[in-house]
Structure 1
């Protein structure tokens, strides 16, 4: 299986620049970026013909459901959906069954991914009200960070004890990432909705139950704890305009080499959908935090453009269609996104709301900086050859038949994107050729340069 390639006549997008060049891959690494490179014996040559060549996306927020929920998703299916979508690395969440609350559970997930993941992988450690000692003992080289659910969650992962929260923010040796929604606020609003609608709460009520007030109250708490202890904090899936003033605009890495201490992330569905879509899609787009108004959507897009939001991810969280077809209280939250995330993000480029360079920064460079990912996330000589070829002139209409996620549906069905993912390379191996995933390709465990 070749790891030696010469990609000619591409438009490279990297570190704020767009430029035409050739790129040579040798032994899975980027060897040379230059103009007019000549082919070598044994090298496979791709004439990109002006296609965009991007560093592969590092999706730092996915739920691939293993162990414990493999009826709806698993590493094999979801990693192949990643490959088709230009996602070359993922970071998986700890709220599995059992949850990832100690070193043994963490390493078991890595061992499983090594057997079946088509792309590169990393796993978060989780926090609970009773695993502070395990968090203190973390080896920072084994995980991108610790996930803290400061809001409703499943199982033993809602951290609502103030003393434990303070201890986590004080003692955690890695970045902390947070899901910020205030549970008492949500519970009170949910009770009011049940009084009004009984069991038939409509989908349009979801952003009123998982309210903006719940989001901003919890986000403020997380930021206050990070400021108190000097913690590196990354707040996930910002869904409201109200939260944006809490974060600073500008680049994640400053000119003096320092990084922002407190960073923010949004997800592709918050750029693509708003509350008008509940009428059409119902609980298919039910997620936590909830998709909110068109004004929130536009404000979040502007914040991403200016760097007030640093990272764009998916929060890929598959459920079966029959699960989504249940009434409000039983229909689970989450939607599958990795296969079409780049195309959906690039629609904002075609609309003139984001630059191509900013999208690449938010999906590749920023996660690499934020989590100290070693030698990935850029088109640089010596770095791993995690690459994506995008055809900006090849529209693509999403169909259910092409969905690779195990849940076998996508929220974008019937929509036409302006671009297509025509090639994905992981460690120099072409895992996606525009129509087929190479089932022999295996990703690598992400390494952290800390």
Structure 2
């Protein structure tokens, strides 16, 4: 089926017609011919589908939190047409067999996808690099708080192997040696929303991030590897990445939330890295606007309400975000705080370039017809009950976002502004 978007406004301000055939953009300009389906864009904004390079869809092992079907539905409703899943599932994606298992589950996705491999002391690089790997993803450098943590020697070995395979290394950069252990003594001991959630930010210090970024880029430089810093939460972390020649991402929760929100969020605001001061949040936003930040990725990490209601030191870290990333950024663009072109670049164009997706991330002839149509004036309140993630809550409750009127993956409508359309048909971007 061919589709023609008439009078669509692109991020650069041009108004033009965009024609799609057989899943590919075939013409961008002034199309006078008919199509099987004509969408009157009426100068609404047409963007390339967002590529979220950092999600945790929880399968295998934790389907009570999220599944590929529910997570991808959430992505489509938020204008995300490609996702990249991280390796810390159960079992972790550190062997070829584990990779194949996750890939079989990903066939239940409504959007296109990639799968990252990871590193633990039990990893099998020979079988892992033999797969269509998206990246060596969320390698936990000096992070002692999870099963994926590795020491400096193994990190260096992994980076060297990744460089040989020409694979990007996505690093979770926090130096656990710099965590403030005295913060535990300051914890009020509350549970759920009664916890002193700001203690978590005090515990996982900003200094721990910058130090780990510096170490990661040093190892990368020694092996000529491509280092990408995940969920950079501080301006110091961004500056260290830029100075070291690495790329970096920031998350919506670090852009739109700060320690000033900790009391209201309680344990629902616990994530790694944690929320930072309002001053640091504002500086991080400015670096995004100025171009120092390469991409925005969500670190979509849903947990059930029951899990999040545990005490601060027992509740799991992470928040959902794949459905609200683009709407939050578009709302800020609507206000004039950031250019639409910049939103397009950090959510699509730059991501495709960074992770070698030559047919995605642009509205141009020959590119995949992954498209999002939005009315910038049609903003609405974000409510967890309205979102599609299985977890049913959001840290952005009550904020305003601009949501898609239409989301297409490969030229086919997957979200019509109200409902998910069709059965899962997402494809592996590394096939």
Q: What band does the TM-score fall into relative to the shorter chain?
A: over 0.9
Match of 1:404 in 2: 388
- Distance of aligned partners of 1:426 and 1:137 in 2 relative to their CA distance in 1, 3 Å threshold: closer
Match of 1:106 in 2: 99
- Aligned partner of 2:109 among 117, 134, 146: 117
* Matching of residue 298 in structure 1 with residue 282 in structure 2: yes
Match of 1:180 in 2: 173
Q: Retained in 1: the 8 A contact 2:196–2:263? A: no
TM-score normalised over the length of structure 2: 0.94
Q: Secondary structure at the match of 1:445?
A: coil
Match of 2:351 in 1: 367
* Matching of residue 158 in structure 1 with residue 149 in structure 2: yes
CA distance in 1: counterparts of 2:145 and 2:98, whole angstroms = 17
CA distance in 1: counterparts of 2:23 and 2:52, whole angstroms = 21
Q: Secondary structure at the match of 2:236?
A: coil
- Distance of aligned partners of 1:377 and 1:75 in 2 relative to their CA distance in 1, 3 Å threshold: same
Match of 1:60 in 2: 53
CA distance in 2: counterparts of 1:278 and 1:156, whole angstroms = 26
CA distance in 2: counterparts of 1:317 and 1:217, whole angstroms = 24
Q: Retained in 2: the 8 A contact 1:135–1:168? A: no
CA distance in 1: counterparts of 2:276 and 2:406, whole angstroms = 34
Q: Retained in 2: the 8 A contact 1:301–1:353? A: no
CA distance in 2: counterparts of 1:203 and 1:356, whole angstroms = 34
Q: Retained in 2: the 8 A contact 1:145–1:177? A: yes
* Matching of residue 426 in structure 1 with residue 420 in structure 2: no
In the TM superposition, residue 37 of structure 1 has moved relative to its aligned partner by 2.9
- Distance of aligned partners of 1:277 and 1:25 in 2 relative to their CA distance in 1, 3 Å threshold: same
TM-score normalised over the length of structure 1: 0.90
CA distance in 1: counterparts of 2:407 and 2:136, whole angstroms = 27
In the alignment, structure 1 segments of 5+ residues that lack a partner are 250-259
CA distance in 2: counterparts of 1:243 and 1:130, whole angstroms = 29
Match of 2:296 in 1: 312
In the TM superposition, residue 243 of structure 1 has moved relative to its aligned partner by 1.9
In the alignment, structure 2 segments of 5+ residues that lack a partner are none
1:280-327 per-residue CA deviation (whole Å, 9 max, x = no partner) reads: 211212110011011111111111122211011100000111211111
Number of equivalenced pairs: 424
Range with greater deviation from structure 2 (292-301 or 260-269): 260-269
Aligned residues: CA RMSD? 1.9
Match of 1:51 in 2: 44
- Distance of aligned partners of 1:143 and 1:236 in 2 relative to their CA distance in 1, 3 Å threshold: same
CA distance in 2: counterparts of 1:140 and 1:305, whole angstroms = 36
Q: Retained in 2: the 8 A contact 1:316–1:334? A: yes
- Give the 5 Å matches for 1:44-443: 44-114=37-107, 116-131=108-123, 134=125, 138-139=129-130, 141-152=132-143, 156-160=147-151, 162-172=152-162, 173=165, 174-186=167-179, 189=180, 191-197=181-187, 199-200=189-190, 202-248=196-242, 262-417=246-401, 419-443=402-426
Q: Retained in 1: the 8 A contact 2:113–2:427? A: yes
CA distance in 1: counterparts of 2:253 and 2:330, whole angstroms = 13
- Distance of aligned partners of 1:247 and 1:308 in 2 relative to their CA distance in 1, 3 Å threshold: farther
In the TM superposition, residue 108 of structure 1 has moved relative to its aligned partner by 1.6
In the TM superposition, residue 343 of structure 1 has moved relative to its aligned partner by 0.9
In the TM superposition, residue 248 of structure 1 has moved relative to its aligned partner by 3.2
